[in-house]
Amino acid sequence: MDWHMVWNDTKDQLDLLDQRFLPTREDWYACTDTDSTIFALQVMVIRGAPAIGVTAAYGCYLAAKEAAPAGDNWKQKLDELLIKLEDARPTAVNLRWGVRRMRAAWDEQLELDNAGLRAMWLELAKEIHEEDKRFCRKLGEIGGTVINDGDTVMTHCNAGALATSDYGTALGVIRGAWDAGKKKINVIANETRPFLQGARLTSWELMKDGIPVKVACDNACALLMKKGLVDKVVVGADRIAANGDAANKIGTMGVAILAKHFGVPFYVAAPLSTIDRETPTGDDIPIEDRTPREVTHVGETQIVPDGVEVYNLAFDPTPNELIAGIITEEGILEPPYAESIPAAFARSGK
Alpha-carbon distance 46 to 158, whole Å?
12
pLDDT average, residue stretch 82-99: 96
Let me know whether 152 and 62 are in one domain. no
**Residue that is last in its domain, among 106, 137, 168:** 137
Q: What is the pLDDT, as a whole number, of residue 262?
A: 98
104 three-state secondary structure: helix
Provide CB contacts within 8 A for 43, sequence distance 6+.
Answer: 20
CB 63 within 8 A of CB 141: no
pLDDT digits (tens, 9 = 90+) for 131-144: 999 999 999 999 99
Q: What is the pLDDT, as a whole number, of residue 17?
A: 97
Let me know whether 302 and 284 are in one domain. yes
Provide the annotated binding site for substrate.
47-49, 89, 197, 248-249
CA 345 to chain centroid, in Å, comes to 20
Domain residues for 56?
2-137
Helix (H) or strand (E) holding 34: helix 34-42
Q: What is the pLDDT, as a whole number, of residue 42?
A: 97
Provide the annotated binding site.
47-49, 89, 197, 248-249
Q: What's the CATH number where 86 sits?
A: 1.20.120.420
Let me know whether 164 and 309 are in one domain. yes
**Residue that is last in its domain, among 98, 114, 137:** 137
Structure letter (DSSP) for residue 201: I
* 238 has catalytic annotation: yes
Alpha-carbon distance 119 to 276, whole Å?
29
**Residue that is last in its domain, among 137, 167, 193:** 137
CA 100 to chain centroid, in Å, comes to 18
Pick the closest to residue 44 from 60, 26, 21 (CA basis): 21
Let me know whether 333 and 227 are in one domain. yes
Structure letter (DSSP) for residue 313: B
Residue type, 116: G
Q: For residue 100, is pLDDT > 70? A: yes
Let me know whether 201 and 298 are in one domain. yes
Residue 242's Cβ-count burial label (10 Å; 0-12, 13-18, 19+) is: middle
Let me know whether 149 and 127 are in one domain. no
pLDDT digits (tens, 9 = 90+) for 34-53: 999 999 999 999 999 999 99
pLDDT digits (tens, 9 = 90+) for 207-266: 999 999 999 999 999 999 999 999 999 999 999 999 999 999 999 999 999 999 999 999
Let me know whether 150 and 279 are in one domain. yes
Let me know whether 19 and 159 are in one domain. no
Number of domains in the chain: 2
Let me know whether 268 and 318 are in one domain. yes
Let me know whether 200 and 58 are in one domain. no
- How far is the CA of 244 from the CAs of 70, 85, 320, 334, 344, in angstroms? 44, 27, 5, 9, 12
Catalytic residue among 18, 166, 238, 276: 238
Sign of the Cα pseudo-torsion (82, 248, 334, 142, in order): negative
- At residue 299 the predicted structure's pLDDT band, cuts being 50, 70 and 90, is confident
Q: What's the CATH number where 242 sits?
A: 3.40.50.10470
Percentages helix, strand, coil for the chain (3-state, rounded to 5) are 50, 15, 35
Q: What are phi and psi of 249, to 5 degrees?
A: -50, 145
Let me know whether 99 and 154 are in one domain. no
Let me know whether 156 and 109 are in one domain. no
Alpha-carbon distance 172 to 153, whole Å?
12
Name the pairing type of β-strands 213-216 and 186-190: parallel
CA 269 to chain centroid, in Å, comes to 10
- At residue 349 the predicted structure's pLDDT band, cuts being 50, 70 and 90, is confident
- At residue 2 the predicted structure's pLDDT band, cuts being 50, 70 and 90, is low
The secondary structure of 40-66 as a DSSP string is HHHTTSS-SHHHHHHHHHHHHHHHHHH
